[in-house]
Amino acid sequence: MDQILDFFRRLTDTSDWPARWFCGRWSDFHGWLYIVSDLTIWLAYMAIPLILIRFIILKKGIPLPSVFLLFGTFIMLCGATHLLDALMFWWPAYRLAALVKLLTGVVSVATVIALVRYFNEAIGLRTSREFERELLFRQQAVQELSRSNQELQQFAYVASHDLQSPLKTIVNYLTLFESKYGEQLDTDARRMIDTSTAAADRMRTLINDLLDFSRVGSVVEYKPVDLNELVAEILNEHQEDIRLSDATIELGPLPTLMAHRTDLKQVFQNLITNGLKYRRTDVAVRLSIQAVDEGSAHRFVIADNGIGIEPQHYDRIFQIFQRLHGRSTYPGTGIGLATCKKVIDIYGGKIWLDSMPGAGTTFYLTIPKKIKTVQHYAQTDSLHSVSR
Ligand code: ADP
More confident residue, 128 or 301: 301
Rounded Cα–Cα distance for residues 319 and 84 (Å)? 73
CA of 284 to the centre of ligand 1 (A): 19
Q: Verify that 73 and 120 share a domain, yes or no.
A: yes
DSSP labels, 133-168: HHHHHHHHHHHHHHHHHHHHHHHHHHHHHHHHHHHH
Q: What is the CATH number of the domain that holds 288?
A: 3.30.565.10
CA of 155 to the centre of ligand 1 (A): 26
Q: Verify that 211 and 245 share a domain, yes or no.
A: no
For residue 304, being part of any structural domain is answered with yes
pLDDT digit string, tens, across residues 223-267? 999 999 999 999 999 999 999 989 999 999 999 999 999 999 999
Q: Are 56 and 73 in contact (CB under 8 A)?
A: no
pLDDT digit string, tens, across residues 318-361? 999 999 988 889 999 999 999 999 999 999 999 999 999 999 99
Work out the pLDDT band at 377, boundaries 50, 70, 90: low
Per the structure, how many domains does the chain have? Answer: 3
More confident residue, 372 or 286: 286
For residue 380, being part of any structural domain is answered with no
Q: Which residues line ligand 1 (CB under 6 A)?
A: 270, 274-275, 278, 304, 306-307, 309, 317, 323-325, 332-338, 361
What range does the domain containing 199 cover?
A: 130-218
Is residue 285 pLDDT above 90, yes or no?
Answer: yes
Work out the pLDDT band at 383, boundaries 50, 70, 90: very low
User: Residue 367: which of 355, 351, 383, 354 has the closest Cα?
Assistant: 351
Domain boundary among 199, 218, 237: 218
CA of 337 to the centre of ligand 1 (A): 7
Q: Verify that 268 and 349 share a domain, yes or no.
A: yes
Rounded Cα–Cα distance for residues 266 and 181 (Å)? 41
Q: Verify that 238 and 194 share a domain, yes or no.
A: no
Q: Verify that 252 and 337 share a domain, yes or no.
A: yes
Mutate to test the pocket of ligand 1, among 274, 279, 325 (most ligand atoms within 8 A of CB): 274
For residue 382, being part of any structural domain is answered with no
Q: Verify that 245 and 344 share a domain, yes or no.
A: yes
Q: Verify that 18 and 155 share a domain, yes or no.
A: no
CA of 214 to the centre of ligand 1 (A): 19
Work out the pLDDT band at 58, boundaries 50, 70, 90: confident
The average confidence (pLDDT) of the chain is: 90
Q: Are 380 and 151 in contact (CB under 8 A)?
A: no
- pTM score, two decimals? 0.65
pLDDT digit string, tens, across residues 121-170? 778 777 888 889 999 999 999 889 888 888 887 887 787 778 888 899 99
